[in-house]
């Protein structure tokens, strides 16, 4: 049975399809840590995913079911949540761009890579996991990495979370924690049971109290990346 | 009247928010931001109250005239009823 380590959680997994196994390959684990759980998606789990997203094939839906189970475990046992965002690491610090699908998070992260070259590492382009560990928030790469397949098996301390919208002119400002609450709640997977939901709300409260938050209106240009990078990092180019 | 089971009211980053869990989450997957006075009414309605009791609670906490309080409570209750949150 393959063993993985994702978001610093070691687990064994049993897959029906080869797709999920291939997807998770980079996260195979051969160290000494004991597995904390066994994850497998049943046919019923896959059926439940199919109801939410009937257009996808079963092997892909299995991978979603596995991800859902991993995230549910992490939320209840490891202070972590999935945060739909494009997470990029520069000089060891992570920046998370969040927005509804199709707004341009991945595009903006690409502009950062073009601007910063090798200094910028994609942690995950779609579904990273965010965890609270020893008083700090970290973002972790996961194999669920979006349509461009960008992720790194690594973690980085989060410096800032940035909400993106499309705009003609580039502008950035600090967000209040309050205006980010709905953003985060809408870009995570919400559990259905009460105690997990309370864990999630508590984590979001801590996250928004710990990291810098920004609102960015941007077009697709080098200047947009320059503005967001210099403002959020406090560094000059 | 009373707010149906399955809602959690919580303080997150200084905001009072309401989300649904359990069966209610299937019916309502949004989230609601409440200002302090609606939060007071929501909490009162979670325990169950008549419209008169809501008006009284509201007036005990806020410096408003009876007519204004009645109007605000009515509006709040109507919105909850429309959303199907009351039983």
Q: Where are chain B's structural domains?
A: 7-83
Average pLDDT over residues A196-220: 97
How many A×B Cβ pairs under 8 Å?
50
- Please say which residue of A55, A78, A101 terminates a domain: A78
Q: Total structural domains in chain A?
A: 2
Task: Give pLDDT, residue B51.
Answer: 95
Categorize the per-residue pLDDT at A74 as very low, low, confident or very high, splitting at 50, 70 and 90.
Answer: very high
| Same domain, yes or no: A13 and A73 | yes
Looking at residue B66, what DSSP letter applies?
H
Chain B residues touching A185 at Cβ < 8 A: 12, 17, 19, 31
Domain with A170, as residue range(s), is 81-233
| Same domain, yes or no: A74 and A89 | no
**Strand pairing partners for A12?**
A3, A38
- Please say which residue of A39, A54, A78 terminates a domain: A78
pLDDT at residue B47 above 80?
yes
> What does the pLDDT look like over A89-138, one tens digit per residue?
999 999 999 999 999 999 999 999 999 999 999 999 999 999 999 999 99
| Same domain, yes or no: A138 and A38 | no
Task: Give pLDDT, residue A177.
Answer: 77
| Same domain, yes or no: A131 and A229 | yes
Check CB contact under 8 Å for A205 and B8.
no
- Please say which residue of A60, A78, A96 terminates a domain: A78
Task: Give pLDDT, residue A223.
Answer: 98
Categorize the per-residue pLDDT at A200 as very low, low, confident or very high, splitting at 50, 70 and 90.
Answer: very high
pLDDT at residue A226 above 90?
yes
Measure CB to CB from residue B13 to each of A192, A194, A205 and give the nearest one.
A205
**Please, which residues 156-185 of chain A have a Cβ atom closer than 8 Å to chain B?**
177-178, 180-182, 185
| Same domain, yes or no: A169 and A73 | no
Measure CB to CB from residue B13 to each of A178, A190, A197 and give the nearest one.
A178
Task: Give pLDDT, residue A178.
Answer: 81
| Same domain, yes or no: A45 and A159 | no
Query: How far is residue A230's CA from residue A175's CA, in Å, rounded to a whole number?
Result: 16
Check CB contact under 8 Å for A201 and B8.
yes
CA angle, residues A231, A87, A122, in degrees to nearest 5:
105
Chain A residues touching B12 at Cβ < 8 A: 181, 185, 201, 204-205, 208
| Same domain, yes or no: A85 and A70 | no
Task: Give pLDDT, residue A39.
Answer: 97
Residue B24's SS3 state is helix
C-alpha pair distances (Å), A90 with each of A27, A123, A186, A218, B68: 22, 10, 26, 20, 54
The alpha carbon of residue A121 is apart from the nearest alpha carbon of chain B, in Å, by 30
Check CB contact under 8 Å for A185 and B31.
yes
| Same domain, yes or no: A140 and A129 | yes
């Amino acid at each position: 049975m393959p063993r993985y380590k994702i978001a610093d959680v070691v687990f064994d997994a049993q897959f029906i399809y080869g797709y999920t196994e291939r997807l998770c390959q980079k996260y195979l684990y051969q160290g000494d840590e004991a597995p904390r759980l066994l994850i497998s998606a049943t046919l019923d789990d896959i059926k439940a995913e199919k109801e939410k997203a009937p257009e996808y094939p079963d092997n892909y839906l299995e991978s979603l079911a596995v991800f859902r189970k991993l995230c549910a475990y992490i939320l209840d046992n490891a202070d972590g949540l999935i945060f739909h965002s494009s997470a990029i690491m520069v000089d060891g610090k992570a920046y998370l761009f969040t927005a509804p699908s199709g707004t341009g998070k991945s595009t903006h992260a690409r502009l950062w890579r073009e601007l910063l070259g090798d200094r910028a590492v994609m942690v995950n382009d779609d579904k990273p996991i965010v965890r609270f560990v020893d008083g700090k928030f970290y973002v972790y790469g996961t194999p669920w990495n979006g349509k461009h397949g960008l992720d790194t098996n690594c973690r980085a301390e989060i410096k800032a979370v940035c909400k993106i919208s499309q705009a003609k002119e580039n502008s950035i400002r600090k967000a209040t924690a309050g205006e980010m609450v709905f953003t985060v709640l809408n870009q995570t997977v919400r559990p259905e049971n009460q105690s997990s939901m309370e864990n999630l709300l508590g984590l979001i409260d801590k996250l928004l109290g710990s990291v810098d938050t920004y609102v960015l209106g941007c077009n697709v240009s080098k200047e947009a990346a320059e503005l967001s990078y210099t403002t959020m990092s406090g560094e000059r180019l | 009247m009373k707010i149906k089971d399955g809602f959690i009211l919580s303080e997150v980053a200084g905001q009072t928010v309401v989300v649904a869990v359990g069966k209610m989450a299937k019916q309502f997957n949004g989230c609601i931001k409440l200002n302090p006075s609606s939060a007071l009414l929501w909490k009162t309605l979670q325990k169950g109250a008549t419209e008169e009791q809501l008006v009284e609670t509201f007036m005990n906490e806020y410096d408003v005239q009876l007519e204004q309080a009645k109007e605000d409570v009515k509006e709040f209750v109507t919105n909850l009823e429309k959303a199907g949150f009351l039983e």
